[in-house]
Structure 1
Amino acid sequence: MRKVAAFIWLVIVLGICSIAWLKGPSFESSIMALLPQSEQSPYSAAAMQSQSDAMGQLLTLMILHPEVDKARTATLNIQSILADSPILLEQSPEHLQQQSLNPKFRFSVLSDQVKRRLENGQWQQQSDIALGQLFNPVASAPVDLKADPFGLYGSFLQDSVLSSNIKTQQGLFRLSSTPQPAFVLFYRLSENAFSLSTQSQLAPLLQQVKDYASANQVTVKMSGLVIHASYGANQAKQEISTIGVGSVLGIILLILAAFRSLKPLFYTLVPISVGAMVALAITTLIFPSVHLITFAFGAGLVGVAVDYSMHYVCAQSGQTENRLTKSLFVSLLLGLISSVLAYAGLALTPFPGLRQIALFASIGLVASWLTVLFWLPLVSNLSNMRLHPSIIDMCQHLTPVYSSKRHLQAVFAATTLSVIGSVFIYCSSAKDDLDTLQTSPIQLLNEDRTVQQAMGNGYQSTFLLITATGIEALLQKEEQVRLTLDRLRFEGDLGNYLSISQSLPSQAQQHRNITLVSELYRTQLAPFMNKIGASALIKQEAQQSFNQNHTILTLSEWQTSPLGHMLSSQLIRHKDGHISSVIRIQGKFSQAAKSQLQELASHTNLVEYIDPIADISDTLARYRTQLTMCLVIAYLVVSSVLLLRYRKQLWQIILPPLSASIMAFAIATLLNGGYNLFNIVALMLVFGIGLDMGIFIKESHGAAHTWVAVSLSTITSLLAFGLLVLSETPVLYHFGVIVLPGLLFVWLLTPFIQPISYGESRNA
């Protein structure tokens, strides 16, 4: 029956792995994928996804050199390096500026400045500005005396497409705000910035750019989500290798030191390998993509799964018969149940990343446990595998001699430190802001910020969402909201904003614009033509051109224009027929402006003020509270289950992990100036691993081989999870900073709470 069970388990493992292989795993590297979806309205959730996708596809390069000719030459050379990339679509001046909107709409679509002058009756001022533009030798746009004598179309292009810091020069974008000559190249990715394929294709091209810049003494600064995503993915890959390889090397060294033989290594690593493969396969089958942090965290699985094989090998050390004893089976079963229950708590959270980690860890532990149960008893005689006496002696010397006095002192010390730690934690504050999840180094962040500031962008993450049942109603509502934005901008509380109705006014507004331009022509055309000495024929043709061109811009025509393509992400259609537009905030954004926009949204139907960062921070805080309750419930549930077996001795198993968790949590809070949700998650790991330790010792009555196995397993767990404290990925670091001291405290407390015997107590 044992052989049949082992064969069935082999078939199951091969079947699951084969199906997952045929599906083909997909990988994810975005930190945001770990977080729960927004709990605001469906409209705002769709808007945040749309804005995230749109901004994530942009890549900007700023090229600087003290000499303008060399800066321009370098820009052209870098442009040629990136020209052949299939995933980069260049946004050239010709694409973004020339014909960004058909000139036939020059009278119905006006720039904000022109519209404001005409609404205020400043006809003469508009005429004077056009006159100055006509005689300006370096004017940004030529004036067509017949089609557009007042330069309405040129004014629209100048105000609606590029910021005031960006000009066009000889077919390139040049910055006017930098201390030395600087040009910029704009690109849009054709694929997802978080795609590992995208990053692998882009990385060598960007490296060529850096090599060229270094060789030619040119400064190149980059801005774009793909830069940060690529850094985070590479960092995760390196940490996966470090943690995984470090854990495996640690196990190898421990096995060699404990047994002076490599044979037990095979019996130890096989269950771990099977557990990792099955966990990866099932995670691939259930989730659309597997996060790299799941792998990094999953690499720590060896620190837990090794417990089962380590206890089995140590228990069989020197035994003439290779069998799974009843006491060992009970220990393994209770250890599995407690660990899986602890990990399963992560699956109750709304965090996709944590649910994935919970599944990976739980499946991996179960698969490793089944491998130990079905396969290890079938291996050859283990009588020649004995724990080396030096290992037992070392553990004996390191383990304090148990006495009732030391027992009471340990209980008192653990209780006292737990109370002090609890008070310290109670007086500390939580840190739920997104800065705790920032993976990019300060150098990349500063470089990104420098590029955006040079261009005069500085878009805020905050935006307004306007929703209506149709496009005309939407545009009219947006135009009403813009009255408040214009006032805030005039008062200096708001830098700027970007909205759909600036380039696609409502039809009602377009008709009003045509009426305003008609009055401009009626009062100013004749004086204007007289000042420049134009003939009567030119004046007549100009008036006729206006009379014949009252074209209204429609949504479909706007969407097919380059300008419409550029702003398409700010127009969102919903499944229920509603349509939304996004007004993005740019530059300065004072607290007074924020308060007024929040008030405006609260009093206006289907107008939402959305701050994604604050929303996510609030969500983190809310779920941190809920997860704390889950942890308390996990302690109560597991304690209730174990109470059925251990009765009055239950406290000896619960006290070490409970006290260690409190002390580790207090230390992490002191080091980081606060605590967050991921620290709470890590406490579940300390709880699960700490329970295993107490259960194994209790079931073996403190046998020497069990304490050796516990000590070896603790070291492997510290290698697996303790290495996370060195991680530059915040999510992993916040796990490691709890687990490292937590496991150490559990290991130090346990021999004081439960006596360790160095006799040969092996119960059948």
Structure 2
Amino acid sequence: MFRVGAAVLCALWCLVACVVVGVRVQERGAFDVDIQNLLPRTALEPVIRAAVADAGTTASQRVAVLVTAKDPNRAQDAAADLERSFVAAGFAPDHAQGEAVGRWLFANRNQLSCSADPARFDPDAVVRRSQVLLYSPLAPVSGGMLEKDPFLLTLQLAECLSPPSGGQIGESVLVSGVLTSSAYRIDVQDRIADTFAGWQGRWPGVEASRAGVVFFAQDAAHQTRNEMALISGISAVVILALLLACFRRPHAILGTFAVTTAGAVGSLAAAFLLFPSVHVLVFVFGSALIGVTSDYALHYLATGPQTGWASRKERLKVIRRPLAVCALSTSLGFAGLGLFGVEVFNQVAVFSVAGILTAWWFTMTLLPFLDPRPKNAEKLSGWWNWLERPFLAFRWRRAYSVIGLVIVLGAIGLGVARFSVLDDVRQFQPRSAELSAEEARLREAVGFSSSPKFLLSFGDDAQEARRREEAVLASWPEAAARDVLAVSRFDPSDTRRRENETRLRDQVFTPHLAERAQAVGIDKVDPFSVTTPPPALPPLVSSLEGAASGLHYLVAPLGATASALPARDSEGSRVVDPTARYTQAFATFRGLAAGAVLATFAACALLVLLLYRTWRALFILAAPTVGVLMAVALPSALGMPVSFFSVAALFVVIGVGIDHSVFLFEANETNGQSKELVVFLAGLTTILSMGLLGLSGTFPVASFGIAVAVGVTAAYLCSFVPVNVRGKSGHAIRQD
């Protein structure tokens, strides 16, 4: 029975949900975008997580542009203009950092060494290099410097320890630095891209090679935005036209939009009420709600022309049980995600179940008020019946079943033969060929390359962490050890500091200082003078140090040479590859999601057996089963690997497939109104709203869309296979 009180309660919940969402989205940290929160927890996890965050921030905010022109002076002027423009857009150039690094190296020159391994220290090489620098026309040598640093240790350390920090490189000029805000913010990406494009317009004929996450992220975001705008625009126009063509009144559009919006708001509000923050990955699963909840609205709206707009009570009676079965079965499927004990899956379970139940509640209480009886009800009913006539005239033949079975088995066989998976996040979206070529040119010119890997060293305090990092670097080849930006190279442990100073005193200063002073004509030499006040550790280095869970850790980003070494863990040190960790996360959750799909089928089987009291009702699951098999098999047969995102799409296939089967089953069992047209309409809108995502050039989006399109189509076709499911006791005819 239709009750106004239930409608009032539903309206109040929707209002409260809107308030909760409106308040929470204003809070900082309402949405969790850290992919690390998907990773399994271990005893060392807080340290690794903090280190990955530090390394990611340091690497992602780096920007470098190599400016080249036929005229070196023009290259200098263009580079200066670019640096000024970048600074205005939120950029801190490296030369400011270079000054801080220079002061630190000078103050600590006698306690640092270019050799990571003390056994490889060569005093003669130090003396020879100082001789070369002494007479180099480009070296900034002065009498005052020679009095305190007669062997030019500061310049030697700057060459071997510091990464390139901008300036002249051959006939090119390097502009490098860090962004003052996250490279993953869209406004930052657009601002830097617009600044660079404007600079290019001002300097025709000047070439620039870029490197930096911000450029790749902006290119990917621009491509994705254009794709999504085009695909969403096309699907929205087609769906609107389809609804207007079938229902011939705007109420259908308003009702469908209202139900899906209510489901979305209800799901997000429930998640915000139960969790301090909601992970963005939740929305991958949550997107399934669009296809499922819109079907609820369509099934009620279709009762209008089917019954000639009977009373609300009569119209609701037609869909009460099948819609409840659909909502319960889909909710049970998503609730099964909460059985794995994974935080993000718990969020998905709450988000999805709340959205489905809110949409069902809205459909059963408030939607009837949005679809009043039209003045031309008879005409609209006649139009609906005319549209449905071809579906009713269609007769399924046994040959169709044979052909369908051959297609399904063939797809499964070929899919098994060509089955593969893709969890590597580096392959989710193709990198720009132009930007990749520019980055390669810049790395070749600068002579330094970076990788996402880093050496993590940790201990009970800062000294222990430094000693462990020093031990690892000492065991590496010299070329690899120099290809690391390590804290301990700039700020060694107290033990290593004393060793370095003793070595310099005994092997460099004692045998060679008098000769050097005489050679440069300096009477008073004080190589061990102390800088007061002592300078602070440069931010370039201090940002690579931190503490978590009572442990002190150091992050040492690796270059290409160092990252190519075989990874060997030692006590208190290990090489961490963030990309591998993210790949592991997607592989783990792909497996868990597949398990959740099986749990969904088990829950739905129990539900239909409980409601219909006959094992023949299990045939309701035949269509979604075929849909899931084809959603996996057919893309695999065509060479598309299975990913976490394609498995997530299976929840859409299950939800929509069960909707189709339940409504057709109910229509057959109760001799009710035909459902062929509305089931076709529900499937088609799902394909249009999400299946068209398969046209995207981004792998996660495309794999999700293709799986939805294939699975929903297969489930729809299979749902029309005639099966005698009526039991002798006639349990299926009970409406309550």
TM-score of the superposition, structure 2-length normalised?
0.86
Alpha-carbon separation, structure 1, partners of 2:688 and 2:338: 25
Alpha-carbon separation, structure 2, partners of 1:495 and 1:515: 22
- Find the counterpart in structure 2 of residue 127 from structure 1: 127
Residue 653 of structure 1 contacts residue 694 of structure 1 at CA under 8 Å; is this kept in 2? yes
Residue 20 of structure 1 contacts residue 285 of structure 1 at CA under 8 Å; is this kept in 2? no
Compute the displacement of 1:566 (Å): 0.4
Residue 455 of structure 2 contacts residue 576 of structure 2 at CA under 8 Å; is this kept in 1? yes
Query: Partner letter of residue 315 of structure 1?
Result: T
Secondary structure at the aligned position of 1:579 is classed as strand
Query: Partner letter of residue 251 of structure 1?
Result: I
Find out whether 1:455 has 2:455 as its counterpart: no
Residue 667 of structure 2 contacts residue 675 of structure 2 at CA under 8 Å; is this kept in 1? yes
Match of 1:631 among 583, 591, 597: 597
Task: Count matched residues.
Answer: 712
Alpha-carbon separation, structure 2, partners of 1:255 and 1:725: 22
Q: Structure 1: which 5+ runs fail to align?
A: 167-171, 757-761
Residue 86 of structure 2 contacts residue 195 of structure 2 at CA under 8 Å; is this kept in 1? no
Alpha-carbon separation, structure 1, partners of 2:400 and 2:36: 40
- Find the counterpart in structure 1 of residue 729 from structure 2: none
Compute the displacement of 1:714 (Å): 0.9
- Find the counterpart in structure 2 of residue 478 from structure 1: 469
Compute the displacement of 1:628 (Å): 1.9
- Find the counterpart in structure 2 of residue 169 from structure 1: none
Find out whether 1:108 has 2:111 as its counterpart: yes
Alpha-carbon separation, structure 2, partners of 1:351 and 1:310: 34
Compute the displacement of 1:695 (Å): 0.3
Compute the displacement of 1:509 (Å): 1.8
Secondary structure at the aligned position of 2:686 is classed as helix
Residue 474 of structure 1 contacts residue 580 of structure 1 at CA under 8 Å; is this kept in 2? yes
Alpha-carbon separation, structure 2, partners of 1:33 and 1:129: 47
Alpha-carbon separation, structure 2, partners of 1:296 and 1:282: 17
Find out whether 1:575 has 2:563 as its counterpart: no
Closer/same/farther in 2, CA of residues 189 and 621 from structure 1, 3 Å limit: same
- Find the counterpart in structure 2 of residue 759 from structure 1: none
Alpha-carbon separation, structure 1, partners of 2:136 and 2:114: 20
- Find the counterpart in structure 2 of residue 687 from structure 1: 654
1:260-279 residue pairs with structure 2 within 5 A? Answer: 260-279=248-267
Alpha-carbon separation, structure 1, partners of 2:36 and 2:691: 22
- Find the counterpart in structure 1 of residue 663 from structure 2: 696
Compute the displacement of 1:304 (Å): 2.4
Alpha-carbon separation, structure 1, partners of 2:698 and 2:39: 21
1:140-289 residue pairs with structure 2 within 5 A? Answer: 141-142=141-142, 144-163=145-164, 173-176=167-170, 181-195=171-185, 199-200=186-187, 203-217=190-204, 218-235=206-223, 237-238=225-226, 241-242=229-230, 244-283=232-271
Alpha-carbon separation, structure 1, partners of 2:322 and 2:667: 8
Find out whether 1:366 has 2:389 as its counterpart: no
Find out whether 1:502 has 2:489 as its counterpart: yes
Query: Partner letter of residue 694 of structure 1?
Result: S
Closer/same/farther in 2, CA of residues 278 and 443 from structure 1, 3 Å limit: farther
Residue 285 of structure 2 contacts residue 348 of structure 2 at CA under 8 Å; is this kept in 1? yes
Alpha-carbon separation, structure 2, partners of 1:399 and 1:609: 65
Query: Partner letter of residue 448 of structure 2?
Result: N
Secondary structure at the aligned position of 1:110 is classed as coil
Match of 1:433 among 424, 428, 445: 424
1:265-664 residue pairs with structure 2 within 5 A? Answer: 265-283=253-271, 301-317=289-305, 318-323=308-313, 324-345=315-336, 359-378=350-369, 380-381=372-373, 384-385=376-377, 387=380, 389=382, 392-398=385-391, 401-402=394-395, 406-407=397-398, 409-427=399-417, 428-438=419-429, 440-486=431-477, 489=479, 496-519=483-506, 520-532=508-520, 534=521, 538-539=522-523, 541-542=524-525, 545-546=526-527, 549=529, 560-562=536-538, 565-576=539-550, 578-588=551-561, 593-594=565-566, 597-598=567-568, 601=569, 604-646=570-612, 647-664=614-631
Residue 256 of structure 2 contacts residue 297 of structure 2 at CA under 8 Å; is this kept in 1? yes
Residue 65 of structure 1 contacts residue 182 of structure 1 at CA under 8 Å; is this kept in 2? yes
- Find the counterpart in structure 1 of residue 728 from structure 2: none
Query: Partner letter of residue 488 of structure 2?
Result: S
Residue 267 of structure 2 contacts residue 352 of structure 2 at CA under 8 Å; is this kept in 1? yes
Compute the displacement of 1:694 (Å): 0.1
Closer/same/farther in 2, CA of residues 684 and 240 from structure 1, 3 Å limit: same
Residue 284 of structure 2 contacts residue 645 of structure 2 at CA under 8 Å; is this kept in 1? no
Closer/same/farther in 2, CA of residues 627 and 202 from structure 1, 3 Å limit: closer
Query: Partner letter of residue 47 of structure 1?
Result: A
- Find the counterpart in structure 1 of residue 95 from structure 2: 92
Q: For each residue in 1:282-307, what CA deviation from the matched residue of structure 2 results, as whole angstroms up to 9, or x when unmatched?
A: 45555666677767876664432221
Residue 327 of structure 1 contacts residue 699 of structure 1 at CA under 8 Å; is this kept in 2? no
Residue 657 of structure 2 contacts residue 712 of structure 2 at CA under 8 Å; is this kept in 1? yes
Alpha-carbon separation, structure 2, partners of 1:293 and 1:442: 28
Q: For each residue in 1:488-524, what CA deviation from the matched residue of structure 2 results, as whole angstroms up to 9, or x when unmatched?
A: x3xxx78722211111122222222222222222211
Query: Partner letter of residue 11 of structure 1?
Result: L
Compute the displacement of 1:686 (Å): 0.7
Residue 433 of structure 1 contacts residue 617 of structure 1 at CA under 8 Å; is this kept in 2? yes
- Find the counterpart in structure 1 of residue 720 from structure 2: 751
Compute the displacement of 1:739 (Å): 0.7
Alpha-carbon separation, structure 2, partners of 1:273 and 1:656: 28
Secondary structure at the aligned position of 1:497 is classed as coil
Closer/same/farther in 2, CA of residues 132 and 238 from structure 1, 3 Å limit: closer
Compute the displacement of 1:161 (Å): 1.3
Closer/same/farther in 2, CA of residues 397 and 346 from structure 1, 3 Å limit: same
Alpha-carbon separation, structure 2, partners of 1:68 and 1:695: 75
Compute the displacement of 1:277 (Å): 3.5
Query: Partner letter of residue 381 of structure 1?
Result: R
Alpha-carbon separation, structure 2, partners of 1:269 and 1:132: 76
Compute the displacement of 1:477 (Å): 2.3
Closer/same/farther in 2, CA of residues 357 and 211 from structure 1, 3 Å limit: farther
Compute the displacement of 1:359 (Å): 4.8
Alpha-carbon separation, structure 1, partners of 2:117 and 2:513: 16
Residue 648 of structure 2 contacts residue 704 of structure 2 at CA under 8 Å; is this kept in 1? yes
Residue 329 of structure 2 contacts residue 603 of structure 2 at CA under 8 Å; is this kept in 1? no
Compute the displacement of 1:452 (Å): 4.1
Closer/same/farther in 2, CA of residues 530 and 237 from structure 1, 3 Å limit: closer
Residue 608 of structure 2 contacts residue 618 of structure 2 at CA under 8 Å; is this kept in 1? no
- Find the counterpart in structure 1 of residue 730 from structure 2: none
Match of 2:38 among 31, 36, 58: 36
In terms of mean alpha carbon deviation, does 38-47 or 228-237 score higher?
Answer: 228-237
Closer/same/farther in 2, CA of residues 639 and 392 from structure 1, 3 Å limit: same
Compute the displacement of 1:664 (Å): 2.4
Secondary structure at the aligned position of 2:147 is classed as coil
Closer/same/farther in 2, CA of residues 31 and 434 from structure 1, 3 Å limit: farther
Identity %: 20
Query: Partner letter of residue 337 of structure 1?
Result: L
In terms of mean alpha carbon deviation, does 566-575 or 218-227 score higher?
Answer: 218-227
Closer/same/farther in 2, CA of residues 574 and 29 from structure 1, 3 Å limit: closer
Alpha-carbon separation, structure 2, partners of 1:445 and 1:30: 30
Alpha-carbon separation, structure 2, partners of 1:400 and 1:441: 52
Query: Partner letter of residue 21 of structure 2?
Result: A
Match of 1:713 among 682, 687, 712: 682
In terms of mean alpha carbon deviation, does 325-334 or 377-386 score higher?
Answer: 377-386
Closer/same/farther in 2, CA of residues 367 and 273 from structure 1, 3 Å limit: same
Match of 2:70 among 66, 69, 77: 66
Compute the displacement of 1:581 (Å): 1.7
Residue 434 of structure 1 contacts residue 616 of structure 1 at CA under 8 Å; is this kept in 2? yes
Query: Partner letter of residue 265 of structure 1?
Result: I
Alpha-carbon separation, structure 2, partners of 1:161 and 1:434: 31
Find out whether 1:668 has 2:641 as its counterpart: no
Q: For each residue in 1:207-238, what CA deviation from the matched residue of structure 2 results, as whole angstroms up to 9, or x when unmatched?
A: 13312313421333433333344444455555
Q: Structure 2: which 5+ runs fail to align?
A: 726-732
Query: Partner letter of residue 460 of structure 1?
Result: S
Compute the displacement of 1:388 (Å): 5.7
Alpha-carbon separation, structure 2, partners of 1:285 and 1:246: 35
Residue 108 of structure 1 contacts residue 511 of structure 1 at CA under 8 Å; is this kept in 2? yes
Secondary structure at the aligned position of 1:742 is classed as helix
Residue 289 of structure 2 contacts residue 652 of structure 2 at CA under 8 Å; is this kept in 1? no
